[in-house]
Amino acid sequence: MSKSSDEQHILEVFKKPPKPETNWRSIYIATILSFVGSVQFSLYFSVLWPYLQVVDPAATETFFGYIVAVYSAGQIISSPLFGFWSNKIMQVRLPLYVGLTLMIIGNVCYICLETVTFPRRFFMFIGRFITGAGSGNVTLLRTYASTASTFKDRPKAIAYVTCGQAIGSTCGPLFQLFFTPLNHPGFTIFGSIRINMYTAPAYFACFMNISGIMALRFLFNEDYAGIREGSAKGKKSDAPNMNVPMYDTIAYAICCLTRFTQMFINTNLETLGSPFSMMMFNWAEKTAVTVTAAAQGIIGCFTLLTYIAYIVFKLEDFVSARKACTISLFALIIFHLVTYSWPFLPGQVIIHNSAMLDIANRTKKYNIGCNMGKFTWCDSLKPVNVYLYYAMYVVVIGFAYPTLNIAATTLLSKVLGPRPQGTQQGIFQASGSMARMIGPVGISTLYVSFGPRMAWNLEICVITTTLVIWGIWYSRMIPLRVPAIPESCQTQRARRVLSRTSRTSLASR
C-alpha cells in the first residue's frame, strides 16, 4: 500500500469510527450477579431471629435490630469504596471478585455460629456486616450496566440489572421455604458440617457466590460502549473538545435524594406492615403475616410487569426518566393520603388492654387491635378500609417502586454522561442504604409514641420535599450535553497520529 493510501486509510478510520454496541451477554451476567447479591439480604429474614435465640438465648430484640441494621451499614461503607476503586483501576471485575468473596466469608461466619466460643450474637453481627459489605458490589453492576450500554440501550440494560435485584429480594423468603423441612438440629455430614433449616440458606448462598465467581471468570467480558474516548483513563485526548464536561452536581444530588426517598418509604412500609395491620384491622399475627406475604407476592407480579414494559416494550420511549420519577413520587403521595387515618373517617379501631388480651389468649381468640395500655393514641384513631389499603398498596408500590428503580438509575447514568461512574454510583447506592438503616428506627419510634398518623406525616413530608426540589430544578434533570467532535478535529487528530507513525517508521529504519 502506498504512502497516500496509508494516509487515506487512517483518515477514513478517524472520520468513521466503529459504532459502539452493547455487550448483552455481559449485561445478562451482571443481572445474574445482581440477583445473587440481592437474594442474600432477604434470604435470612424469617430465620435470623429464631436462629439467634438458638445460638445465644441472651440476645435481645434490641441487639437483633442492630444485626439487621449492620448489613446496610456495611453497604454504606463499601459501596463508595468499591466505586472509587473501580474508577481507579478502570475495571469492575476485580472489585466484584472481592465483593463475592466477602459474601462467602460472611456466610461462613453464619454457618459456624454453633461451633465458635466467641460470643455468638457478636459473631453473627460481624458476619452480617461482612456480608453487607460484600453486597455493596451491586453498585459496580449498576455502574457496568450504565457504562457498558449505548445511550439508546441504557434503559433496557439498567432494567435488566435492577430486575435482577428486585427478583432476588422477592425470591429470598421463597428459597427459605425449601429449607424449612430440614428443621433443627438437622443432620451432620463428614462429621462436622451441620445442615439444618438455619444453616442451609448460608450453604446455598455460598454456592451462589462461587457460581458467580465462575461466571465472572469465564463468561463476563468487560466492554464499555457508553464511555467516551478520552474520559475512560483520565487522559486528555488529542482533540481538546473530546473530553467529557463536568456533570450537573445539583441534578446528581437530586438523583441521590430520590433514591433515599424511595428506600425510606419502602423500608418503612415493610417495617410497619404487620404491626399496622394487626392494630388497624384487628388481626392475629398469623393472619397479618399471611395477608402481607400475599400482598408482597402480588407486588412482585406487578414489579415483573413493570420491568417487562421497560425491557420488551421500551417504555422510556414513551415516558422519559424524569417524568417517570415525578409520576412515581406523586403516586406515593396519593397512597399515603388515601390510606391516612383521617379524623372524619367513620368507626373506631378495636381497643383492648393487657387484661383483655390475656383473656383473649386463654380463650384462643386473638383479638389484637390497639393496646390502650401501651399506646396513648388509641382513642383518637380511625380505621382505614382494609380493601382500600391493600388495593392501593399492591398497585402503587407494585408500579411506583420498580419504576423509580429504573428511571432514577437511568437518569443518573445520563446526568453523569459517558464517563466512569463507579464513585458516583457508589454514593447513590449508599444514600439508599442509609435510608434503609435509619428509616425503621425513626419510623418505629414515631409509631410507638404518636401512632400511624405521625409516621404517615413524616413520609408525606419526605416525599413532598423531594417533589418540591424536583419542581424547582426539573429543567436541569436532563442528560449531560457532550459536544460533538467536529470533523476538522478528527482529521487533525488523524494527521497527528499519521505523523507520529511516520516518525516511528523512519526511526526503525
Start-end of H helices in 281-397: 285-311, 321-338, 354-362, 386-392
Mean pLDDT, to the nearest integer, of 175-199? 75
- If you write DSSP's letter for every residue of 208-268 in order, what string do you get? HHHHHHHHHHHT-----SSS-TTTSSS---SSGGGSPPPP-HHHHHHHHHHHHHHHHHHHH
CB 125 within 8 A of CB 245: no
Whether the predicted pLDDT of 203 surpasses 60: yes
Q: What is the mean pLDDT of the chain?
A: 80
Place of cell 446526568: 415
Q: Residue 435: exposed, middle, or buried by beta-carbon count in 10 A (0-12, 13-18, 19+)?
A: buried
pTM value is 0.75
For residue 254 the three cell numbers come to: 437530586
Query: In this predicted model, what pLDDT tens digit does every residue of 423-482 receive, in sequence order?
Result: 888 899 889 888 888 887 788 778 888 888 998 999 999 999 999 999 999 999 999 887
The closest alpha carbon to 177, from 36, 69, 297, 57, belongs to 297
CB 9 within 8 A of CB 1: yes
Domain architecture of the chain: domains with CATH: 22-226 (1.20.1250.20), 246-480 (1.20.1250.20)
Whether the predicted pLDDT of 165 surpasses 70: yes
Residue 466: per-residue pLDDT: 96
Is 235 or 295 the better-scoring residue by pLDDT? 295
Q: What are the residues whose beta carbons fall under 8 Å from the beta carbon of 83, sequence distance 6 or more?
A: 139, 140, 143, 421, 422, 423, 424, 425, 426, 427, 429
> In the beta sheet, which residues pair with residue 188?
194
Radius of gyration of the chain (CA): 27
The number of beta carbons lying within 10 Å of the beta carbon of residue 33 is: 30
